[in-house]
Amino acid sequence: MMSKIISFSILTLVVSIVLINYFSRVKANHPLAHLNVQEIIQEYGYLVEVHNVVTEDGYVLTLHRIPHGRDNLSRERKPILLLPGILQSAWDFVHRGPSYSIAFILSEKGYDVWLGNVRGTTWSRNHTTLDPDKDPVFWDYTIHEIGVYDLPAFIDYVLKKTQQKSIHYLGFSQGTIAFFMMGSEKSDYLSKIKFMAALSPAFYLKDPISPILKFLSKNWRSVQGLFNFFNYRELFGRGDLFSSVVKFICHDENSILINLCIHTHFSIFGYSYHELNKSRLPLTAANTPCGISLKQFMHGLQMWDSGDFRRYDYGTERNLEKYGQEQPPHYNVSRVTTPVAIYYSSNDWAVNIKNMDRVLETVPNVVRNYKVPLDDFNHLDFLYAEHVVDLLYKVVVDDLSKY
């Protein structure tokens, strides 16, 4: 039996290597697809700075900064930190250009824009002592560590560099989870945030509409066991089989595979034909997805399954060892007294609108409750929609200006 398992594992490894080699040869058919975050910001005519931030537990993270708009005026700038969703990076806030990307829009509105890249993603794949390619312990983190280590490190660094006492904050999806985790576990940081814009707040996730997310979350233990069997610690990293397949099916808008790309995208996040720009899919796929730890992915699936906002579930025995109780502790969202604006949509297949009542009841200082006025606006439309500026960003910018 053991020899069969070993033979199967070797065969799987060989097949994976062959497939990765094949898929990775395909290049995205878009003139800007070869650019990284720094280069694409410069391509659009903006000054960009790259800063390294070291967390309390030794992860070396990258902050991309757009200090001012293209006018280069010397007026005082208000610092704002943006944190993207799972499998995303600073790239997702800038690659659509000045007319559509929220980072550039805020820059032109007088903000000093800082773009966070959380641990394990393409631009933050480093550590003071651990090698992500050789040390499995590098990947031993959940979403919790992003909230209690990465986000506080970003905030402290921005405050020190700008010599301000507080900043604005905008989070999308996992970027909202991290904020509420930080607010629950390190509430002293809340005084450093003037205002929090929560795009698709993703901490109560019961009953995702997506059939893929529903299946994965209901079977997260089996999914975890499968990945553990093949010794996966990192998922969707640049160059691995999963991300290579994504890039392959999305690399060319004229490819016969582009419909597979579109329907895979929609089956996870919600169908939104009116807001999709097919020509930009190759550009998006060139740098997204950008890497995630297995435990981080499992933490998300656990929250979709339970519907509760709580720490990672290790199982009864290990929970008792780690937490002193059989079930993971819940995060106390009621501690988050920062002014918070909630932006959500009815066609979000990842964050079911049915959970919004619970969100609004739990967060104590909601100053804006805004439902995007378009029935088929999906989860990724918060960053990618063709009409996102008129439908959402004008409201967000107006709300930010009040604080």
What is the Rg, in whole angstroms, of the alpha carbon atoms belonging to the chain? 20
What span, in angstroms and rounded, lies between the C-alpha atoms of 334 and 204? 14
Q: What is the DSSP string of 247-275?
A: HHHTS-TTSTTHHHHHHHHHHHH---GGG
Residues in the chain: 403
What residues contact residue 214 under an 8 Å CB cut-off, 6+ apart?
A: 207, 208, 304
Query: Nearest Cα to 382, choosing from 117, 114, 106, 102?
Result: 102
* Angle made by CA atoms 207, 210, 213, in degrees to the nearest 5: 75
CA distance linking residue 89 with residue 85, whole number of Å: 8
Q: Which of 145, 167, 146 has the alpha carbon at shortest distance from 156?
A: 167
Residues annotated as catalytic are: 173, 348, 379
Q: Which two tokens stand for residue 287?
A: 């740098």
The type of residue at 302 is: Q
CB neighbour list of residue 196: distance below 8 Å, 6 or more residues apart: 168, 169, 170, 171, 179, 338, 339, 340, 341
* 218 contacts: CB under 8 Å, gap ≥ 6: 305
| Paired tokens of 20 | 């990765």
- Give the residue from 166, 46, 157, 163 showing the smallest Cα distance to 106: 46
Taking the mean position of all CA atoms in its chain, how far away is CA 278? 21
